[in-house]
Chain A
Amino acid sequence: MLRAMLGEAWHAMGSNKMRTALTMLGMVIGVGSVVLMMAIGQGAQYAVAQTISTMGSNLYVIIAGTTQASGVRSGGGFGFTLRVADAEAIAELEDVTYVAPMQQGTQQLVYGSKNWSATVVGTTPEYLDARSWTLASGYVFGESDLRSATRVALLGKTVIENLFEPGEAPLGKTIRVRNTPFTVIGTLNPKGQNLDGRDQDDTIIIPLSTSQRKVFGVPFAGSVRSIIVQAASAEAMPSVEKSVTALLRQRHRLRDDAENDFYIRNLAAAADSAAETTRVMSMLLGAIASVSLLVGGIGIMNIMLVSVTERTREIGVRRAIGARQKDILAQFLLEAIMISVTGCLIGLVLGVGGALLTNAITDMVIVISGGSVLVAFGVAAAVGVFFGFYPARKAAALDPIEALRYQ
């Protein structure tokens, strides 16, 4: 019975190919765009998640602010209120895994005849731990390097590409930063862009003490621009923020009514909001694409209604020779589902093809998940049932005598 009905539905679809094809086109476009948009949306989400994972997790950055005592208020990051000793004190707090004082700025690098400007970060080895940044080769500078301010450097991938010939090994070479020679002791694994789109590999890392003495200079010994703090877990972040604030206020001897002389920036929150933004964007894309699926469904309903009217006599004949109402219902429902599922399959192929093409001609990340394919398929079947039901019920409800009389 089912086979006979499937065969008939297939036959009915084939009997008016142009019309069936145009009806299907609605579903093809609907499913195709849902698949494509979901691939793009999920790709964006994936890309952001990748970027966030390169940032290091549960991070705070504390930036030196202004002292009110000085009388002159200057912008964030331009004050000199933080000390290396503050960082050491923060490290003693509960739920704090890594703390690294740091100072950074853009500097001209020279190697041989080549020069390149990159971000120079002066910090301690804990900086690499906090940001889960590993070495591709060489070793990280240690305590003694920090104490004696040795001129050693770790180079990021972009810096290496721009200073060295392809295939040339940077380890052991000497580059100049602001005319000071530095020996390359390690190379960093690539991290790609950060959330702002800046290339994180365009970086050279040197000991904090060296950076202060040879590169950036400091207004007075022991001061530092910023401190990076990693909390033990996402849950611990609020309490870490509180205890860090309390500790710094106490260490800086701020009166109760005084403002903080530092800023705490929650990098995890920035990451969350970036992830949330892409998630919303991805959902929006899907929702807009779903509208075309809806339009496709309405197209099916429309054509099925026409088909029921055209085939009124046929319905009468079928009823007369023994079709029950549910047989007629099933026949038209099956036809609607078949149109929608066939359209869906074609749309799926085109959507996936479009996604792969997008991936090939742009550098957009595309993620085609089995889930989104399943969803598209389920939605198409549901659209067939939903929009096919009304015409099918109308067909089944026809009075056989009236139907037979229909011209």
Chain B
Amino acid sequence: MYEPSPVGRSAPADAVIHVEGLTKTYVTAAGPFPALKGVDLSISHGEYVAIMGPSGSGKSTFMNLLGCLDTPTAGDYYLVGRNVAHMANDELATLRNRTIGFVFQGFNLLPRMSLQDNVALPLVYSHLDRETRRRRAREMLAKVGLDSYADSFPARISGGQQQRVAIARALINSPSLILADEPTGNLDSHTSEEIMALFGQLNDEGITVVLVTHEHDIADHAKRQVRFLDGLIVSDALTPVRAEAAGSTTATAPVTAGQGAPAC
């Protein structure tokens, strides 16, 4: 299923994510600060991508743009084939609601709501009825193995469990894409493994997963690794072990940002 080519052969139409010359310049008191300096990247349906890079290299900035939470200073971004650059605020909100599932480092569950209500929250903004919301939330909680905690509250469960609930929330509207910025950053290594196993399972089910991490062993769960440095992609390669395990060609050597960019 996975096309073993980091050099995006796919046209924007069948890519979940396709960015060209993506630039983000923050306006700061000290003057303009270029956090992204023209990034090209294509991610197809069903891919599992880890984004790595030193602190301040622009990973979160990039994720915020992918998540339609922020707008680029320049460049184009096609999300499931639609150019989001010029979409209105409300349109972006709807797009986030229907197409993207967010998983945060700090879980970000709403403390006063039961886990079930937390999971169901995106559906409130999809204007689904109460019964459907309840049923789907139960299903998602079951999927992450926490259906028995449906009426419990975030403060009563462990960090790993909270992150599972957050993943259930991200999944509830059947998104094409899961975006996770350091999802294991607040978890111990054992729990991190569990969460990564969950992401792996979701990816096996065909959901595109893009996550940011600092840790190599976390990144190795992904099938493809993209490395940022100073606002640019400096390498884009398949994960060696995974590539072998998938029975594809032998380990792909890291490629330069220029090569990693889609041909179009």
- Give A contacts to B, CB under 8 Å: 1, 3-5, 11-12, 15, 313-314, 316-327, 400-401, 404
Interface size, B (range)? 20 to 34
Distance in Å: Cβ of A312 to nearest Cβ of chain B: 12
Q: B97–A322 contact, CB under 8 A?
A: yes
Which B residues touch A317, using CB under 8 A?
104, 108, 110
Q: A324–B121 contact, CB under 8 A?
A: no
Instruction: Check: B112 CB closer than 8 A to any chain A CB.
Output: yes
| Contact partner, B96, options A314, A322, A326, A327, Cβ 8 Å | A322
* Closest chain B residue, CB of each to CB of A313: B108
Given contacts A1-B124, A4-B130, A317-B108, contact A322 B98 (CB under 8 A): yes
Counting from the closest, the 7 A-B pairs by CB-CB distance are A322-B97, A322-B125, A324-B93, A321-B122, A324-B90, A317-B108, A15-B112
Instruction: Check: B12 CB closer than 8 A to any chain A CB.
Output: no
Given contacts A4-B130, A401-B64, contact A323 B69 (CB under 8 A): no
Instruction: Check: B174 CB closer than 8 A to any chain A CB.
Output: no
Which A residues touch B125, using CB under 8 A?
318, 321-324, 327
Instruction: Check: B70 CB closer than 8 A to any chain A CB.
Output: yes
Q: A320–B102 contact, CB under 8 A?
A: yes
CA distance A321 to B110 in the complex (A): 12
* Closest chain B residue, CB of each to CB of A4: B124
Q: A314–B110 contact, CB under 8 A?
A: yes
Given contacts A4-B130, A322-B125, contact A404 B97 (CB under 8 A): no
Q: A322–B108 contact, CB under 8 A?
A: no
Contacts A316-B108, A318-B125, A401-B64 aside, 16 further interface pairs with beta carbons under 8 A come to A5-B124, A15-B112, A313-B108, A317-B104, A319-B93, A321-B102, A321-B121, A321-B122, A321-B125, A322-B96, A322-B126, A324-B125, A325-B93, A326-B90, A327-B125, A404-B104
Which of B105-135 touch A at CB < 8 Å?
108, 110, 112-113, 121-122, 124-127, 130, 133
Instruction: Check: B46 CB closer than 8 A to any chain A CB.
Output: no
Which A residues touch B96, using CB under 8 A?
319-322
Q: B97–A321 contact, CB under 8 A?
A: yes
CA distance A1 to B130 in the complex (A): 9
Which A residues touch B108, using CB under 8 A?
313, 316-317, 404
Q: A325–B169 contact, CB under 8 A?
A: no
Which A residues touch B90, using CB under 8 A?
324-326
User: What are 5 pairs between A and B in contact, CB < 8 Å?
Assistant: A1-B127, A3-B130, A11-B113, A317-B104, A320-B102
Distance in Å: Cβ of A374 to nearest Cβ of chain B: 33
Q: B122–A322 contact, CB under 8 A?
A: yes
Instruction: Check: B94 CB closer than 8 A to any chain A CB.
Output: yes
Which B residues touch A5, using CB under 8 A?
124
* Closest chain B residue, CB of each to CB of A314: B110
Q: A320–B67 contact, CB under 8 A?
A: yes
Q: A11–B112 contact, CB under 8 A?
A: yes
| Contact partner, A401, options B70, B113, B126, Cβ 8 Å | B70
Distance in Å: Cβ of B145 to nearest Cβ of chain A: 22
CA distance A129 to B67 in the complex (A): 88
Distance in Å: Cβ of A405 to nearest Cβ of chain B: 9
Instruction: Check: B5 CB closer than 8 A to any chain A CB.
Output: no
Distance in Å: Cβ of A19 to nearest Cβ of chain B: 13
Q: B93–A322 contact, CB under 8 A?
A: yes
Instruction: Check: B152 CB closer than 8 A to any chain A CB.
Output: no
| Contact partner, A324, options B67, B94, B98, Cβ 8 Å | B94
Instruction: Check: B89 CB closer than 8 A to any chain A CB.
Output: yes
* Closest chain A residue, CB of each to CB of B89: A325
CA distance A319 to B124 in the complex (A): 12
Distance in Å: Cβ of A330 to nearest Cβ of chain B: 11
Given contacts A314-B110, A401-B64, contact A320 B69 (CB under 8 A): yes
Question: Which residue of B93, B113, B133 has the most chain A CB atoms within 10 A of its CB atom?
Answer: B93
Given contacts A4-B130, A318-B121, A401-B69, contact A323 B110 (CB under 8 A): no
CA distance A316 to B106 in the complex (A): 12
CA distance A404 to B63 in the complex (A): 13
Distance in Å: Cβ of B175 to nearest Cβ of chain A: 10
Which A residues touch B112, using CB under 8 A?
11-12, 15
Given contacts A313-B108, A317-B110, A318-B121, contact A323 B93 (CB under 8 A): yes
* Closest chain B residue, CB of each to CB of A400: B69
* Closest chain A residue, CB of each to CB of B101: A321
* Closest chain B residue, CB of each to CB of A323: B125
Which A residues touch B104, using CB under 8 A?
317, 404
Which of B188-224 touch A at CB < 8 Å?
none
Which B residues touch A404, using CB under 8 A?
69, 104, 108
CA distance A4 to B128 in the complex (A): 10
* Closest chain B residue, CB of each to CB of A407: B106
Which B residues touch A15, using CB under 8 A?
112
* Closest chain A residue, CB of each to CB of B125: A322
Question: Which residue of A15, A321, A326 has the most chain B CB atoms within 10 A of its CB atom?
Answer: A321
Which A residues touch B69, using CB under 8 A?
319-320, 400-401, 404
* Closest chain A residue, CB of each to CB of B166: A317
Which A residues touch B102, using CB under 8 A?
320-321
Which B residues touch A1, using CB under 8 A?
124, 127
Which A residues touch B124, using CB under 8 A?
1, 4-5
CA distance A4 to B130 in the complex (A): 8
Which B residues touch A314, using CB under 8 A?
110
Contact with A along B47-80 (1 / 0, CB 8 A): 0000000000000000010010110000000000
Contact with A along B233-259 (1 / 0, CB 8 A): 000000000000000000000000000
CA distance A325 to B89 in the complex (A): 8
CA distance A324 to B94 in the complex (A): 8
